[in-house]
Amino acid sequence: DVKVTQSSRYLVKRTGEKVFLECVQDMDHENMFWYRQDPGLGLRLIYFSYDVKMKEKGDIPEGYSVSREKKERFSLILESASTNQTSMYLCASSRYRGGYGYTFGSGTRLTVV
């Protein structure tokens, strides 16, 4: 079964900490994405990447950065975690651009205290 694996299901971090959320896919997909999901706001795109070492800002990139050194791995970095970054973070990958066949991970629920 094809998979997108997120390194942690639950994470608790302190305000000001640097936080790394890791995502790995085993499908040789070109495109990878990071979303956050909050009640009442739906899924919002933070960053995406369509190739190794490439990245594009999504709708809410402020406070985040990303790294894609290898095709299969896409990391989301919170440079200095804040309480308003408490959220569910979802990683996804796809072979094609557009809307077809995205595969999502199970999510990381991050709490910043």
Q: Which residues bind another protein (CB under 8 A)?
A: 4, 31, 33, 35, 42-43, 45, 48, 56, 58-59, 90, 92, 96-107
Rounded to a whole number of angstroms, the minimum distance from the CB of residue 105 to another protein is: 5
67 versus 102: smaller Cβ distance to another protein: 102
In this structure, the number of other CB atoms found within 10 A of the CB of residue 86 comes to: 16
Enter the tokens of residue 81: 């975690």
Rounded to a whole number of angstroms, the minimum distance from the CB of residue 106 to another protein is: 6
Neighbouring residues of 43: CB distance < 8 A, sequence distance ≥ 6:
35, 36, 37, 90
Q: φ and ψ at 14, to 5 degrees?
A: -95, 150
14 versus 98: smaller Cβ distance to another protein: 98
62 versus 100: smaller Cβ distance to another protein: 100
